[in-house]
Amino acid sequence: MKVLVIGGGGREHALIWKLSQSKDISALYCIPGNGGISDMAECIAMDVSKTGELLDLSKRKGIDLVIVGPENPLAEGIVDIFEKKGVPIFGPGKQGAMIEASKIFAKELMERYGIPTAAFKVFDRYESARAYLDSLAPPYVIKADGLCAGKGAYVIWDQAEGRNILEDVMVKEIHGEAGRKIVIEEYLPGIEASYLAFTDGTSMLSLLTSQDHKPLLDDDKGPNTGGMGAYTPIPFVNDAVEEEIKTRIMEKTIRAMRDNGIIYKGVLYGGLMLKESDPYVIEFNARLGDPETQPILFKMESDILPILMACIEGKLHTIKGIQWKEGVSICVVVASRGYPDKPEKGYVINGLEALKDRKDVMVFHAGTKKTDGRYYTAGGRVLGVTAIGSTYEDAMERVYEAVSSIKFDGMHYRKDIGAKALLKRA
């Protein structure tokens, strides 16, 4: 089979790495790819928003399977267009992708079907939103309705801050069209968790639980980012809690969409808050998470290709389960100075060669480019250094030892990825 992956981040490198192990794949392509992906697949410099050109290339190359990594092409309806032309593609259609592309769509669906989430109100006018906000006492949450690259949700601790954020989003339109409508919802205290599952619209196959770390700095300080690291599995999600997540949230949401005429195929990602062990949905995503995908796929033993094809073909019930390597997997994101606002680019990355043949470590590239055999920084999140160990302590030691081997001007990373597992377990 010839397989094309759309995207160019750490998630896509992890997908390419995992797909490269399948005996049934003869050629791998990636659009646009990155420096690390170019070592494993043919990277093609194309604009992922130009769906017609992507379709033409897929036809010319004889692509047998397309896998969509990022959310924007899904929200624009790439899956519907490729399906109409008979090109097998993994991901939900435009209607299904609304579960991520519109916070309002997702919240109203959850409200109608009794899927646990925070209480909320929707606004499309600044004046009415401001009047409601003035009646609240922090903490509460303001969310832009549309896609904002993971940066459209604000936890408000101070009322003056809340007024400023509301003005930035709805009046100054810092998120453009995505912030024309907003959600103001109650703040849910607790522990965040990510729960991802494959689905063909009827059956569901769960991946391992994982925990992302959004804030830039240690101890969850600083501005939110696309994610500074993740680990899997989560030790405090026991069998009873996981069953609750499966039945009351994930399976119920897939059924709710089917009831509304949406056969959701692909990955459903539940961003959850565990409030005294009761799971609530913070948000849904319509694709694999980044950086959660990196440690999850590094721990996956099974061939991923049959799972992807079963989702597309409506035969996920034929997949009996996923085999996992023993132990704990942790991904630490190494970012550029200035991230997330104005990341610096163009610096040589040193130290990667020393990690190349490690079985317990894999460096997934995100914002990199390769020129004349050398890797350079080319984005905010540069690398996702991922390790596997027998325990949380062991995995942390291995991943940070690997990170210490890497050097580039202005590199920044959190030093506490995985520590929450130790604290909660203790």
> What is the structure's pLDDT at 426?
45
Clarify whether residues 11 and 83 are in a common domain: yes
> Looking at the 3D structure of the chain, how many domains does it have?
3
What's phi and psi for 379, nearest 5 deg?
A: -170, -175
| Residue numbers of the chain with a pLDDT score lower than 70 | 424-426
Whether residues 182 and 319 fall in one domain: no
Q: What is the CATH number of the domain that holds 236?
A: 3.30.470.20
- Six token digits for residue 343: 């990341």
In terms of residue numbers, what domain contains 182?
119-186
Are 199 and 180 in a shared domain?
A: no
Q: Which of 41, 75, 93 is the last residue of a domain?
A: 93
3-state secondary structure of 126: helix
Tokens describing residue 243: 């069953």
Residue 110: inside a domain = no
For the beta carbon of residue 25, count every other beta carbon within 10 angstroms: 16
Judge contact between 211 and 193, C-beta under 8 A.
yes
Query: Please, which residues have CB within 8 angstroms of residue 404's CB and are 6 or more apart in sequence?
Result: none
**Helix boundaries (H) for 171-287:** 239-244, 251-259
pLDDT score, position 224: 87
Considering the domain architecture, whether residues 227 and 307 belong to the same structural domain is answered as: yes
Q: For residues 60 and 48, what is the distance between their CA atoms, to the nearest angstrom?
A: 17
Provide the whole-model pTM.
Answer: 0.96
Of the residues 152, 168, 186, the one at which a domain ends: 186
- The pLDDT, as a whole number, for residue 381 is 98
Same domain, 312 and 375: yes
Kind of pairing, strands 153-156 and 140-144?
antiparallel
Report if residue 302 sits inside a domain.
yes
What integer pLDDT is reported at residue 276 of this predicted model?
Answer: 86
Residue 127 · residue 121 · CB < 8 Å: no
CA dihedral 240, 245, 246, 249 (to 10 degrees): 150
Contact 179, 217 (CB under 8 A): no
Q: What is the DSSP string of 312-342?
A: HHT-GGG-----B-SSEEEEEEEE-TTTTTS
Answer with the one of 186, 216, 241 that is the final residue of a domain.
186
Residues 165 and 214 in one domain: no
Residue 414 contacts residue 332 (beta carbons within 8 Å): yes
Q: What is the CATH number of the domain that holds 25?
A: 3.40.50.20
Does 263 lie in the same domain as 401?
A: yes
| Residue 100 located in a structural domain | no
The maximal CA–CA distance of the chain, rounded, in angstroms, is 61
C-alpha span between 338 and 274 (Å, rounded)? 32
In Å, what is the CA distance from 351 to each residue of 8, 80, 403, 406, 407?
22, 43, 9, 5, 6
CATH number at residue 165: 3.30.1490.20
Q: How far, CA to CA in Å, does 19 sit from each of 29, 298, 300, 308, 410?
A: 11, 12, 11, 10, 32
Residues 235 and 139 placed together within one structural domain of the fold: no
pLDDT at 48: 95
Q: Are residues 393 and 259 part of one domain? A: yes
